[in-house]
Structures are given as C-alpha cells and as structure tokens.
Amino acid sequence: MTNEEIRNLIEKALDMRNYSYTPYSHYNVGAALLAANGKVYTGCNIENASFTPTNCAERTAFFKAVSEGVKEFKAIAICGGAEGAEVLDDCSPCGVCRQVMSEFCTDDFTVICAKSVDDYTVSTLSEVLPFRFGPSNLIKS
Ligand code: THU
C-alpha cells in the first residue's frame, strides 16, 4: 500500500469516530475498509442498552460492504479512543472482529491501527490472528 492510501484510510477512520453511538463506554471507534475494487466502506461502533448487540466499528464496515455484494478486501484502518478527545493509543481489533476479517480476507490483509495520519502500526491478518479457523475448514473445493 502507498502512504497516500494509508493516510486516506486513516483520515476516514478518524472522521467516523464522530458518528459512534457510545452512551455506555464513551469510547469511540472509527474504521475505514478498503475493498479490492478500490471502494472504501466506513463504520463506527454502535452500542446497545442490552450490551451484547453492540457492534464494533470494524464489523459495521465489513457488514456494510458485504451487504452490498463486496467480499474482497485489501486493508482496514482503525482509530479508537475516549469520546471527545484525540486518539492516544492504538485500538487493536477485538477477537470477534478478527474472526469476521478471517471470513473474508487472506493472510496478507493489512490491519492499520492509528492514532493519527502520522502515527500508526501496520500488521497483517495472519499476524493478528494466527492459526485461524476459517472457511477452508468447512468448505472443501
Ligand atoms: N470497539 C470497537 O468498535 N472495535 C474494537 O476493535 C474494540 C472495541 C468498541 C466496542 C464498544 O462500543 C467500545 O469499543 C468499548 O469496548
């Protein structure tokens, strides 16, 4: 990925924090998911009074894309931190979101955890979710 592509994704992920619905945690996460077709799908976290229906920003972005027929992806940028403040730490994707990535992405899918456009870490899906259980375990071609 180019630096320009990474910066563009991070800017979108940071902006999505403004849309987070977080009356319980006040921890706002934004995500920007780059599809193989070049389109970017964005997401924010959406909480619920019953807690378990809460949807992370990453899954919001994936489900928006998949619901529009897009199932191949290159990278995701994730930015999370306390509501109303600058992002201070990297927000690493939760285990459930890593498993959702695993459903649709190859080992080299890029995971960008960002504090700002100049301060971020880059990993691959295989680094953040080694030994994954995935579609190939159930679907034999
Ligand atoms: N959250 C995300 O949106 N993504 C993650 O990868 C980690 C956690 C959200 C869920 C919840 O709304 C809040 O952050 C606190 O856990």
Q: DSSP labels for 38-73? A: S-EEEEE-B--TTSTT-B-HHHHHHHHHHTTT---E
> Over 90: is that where the pLDDT of 138 sits?
yes
Give distance in angstroms: CA of 29 to centre of ligand 1.
6
Predicted pLDDT of residue 15: 98
Ligand 1 proximity of 94 Cβ (cutoff 6 Å): yes
Average the pLDDT over 48-63 and give the result. Answer: 98
Residue nearest to atom 6 of ligand 1 (CA): 93
Give distance in angstroms: CA of 140 to centre of ligand 1.
33
Average the pLDDT over 35-60 and give the result. Answer: 98
Alpha-carbon separation of residue 77 from 51, 107, 130 (angstroms): 24, 16, 19
> Over 80: is that where the pLDDT of 141 sits?
no
Q: What is the pLDDT of residues 74-118, one digit of tens each?
A: 999 999 999 999 999 999 999 999 999 999 999 999 999 999 999
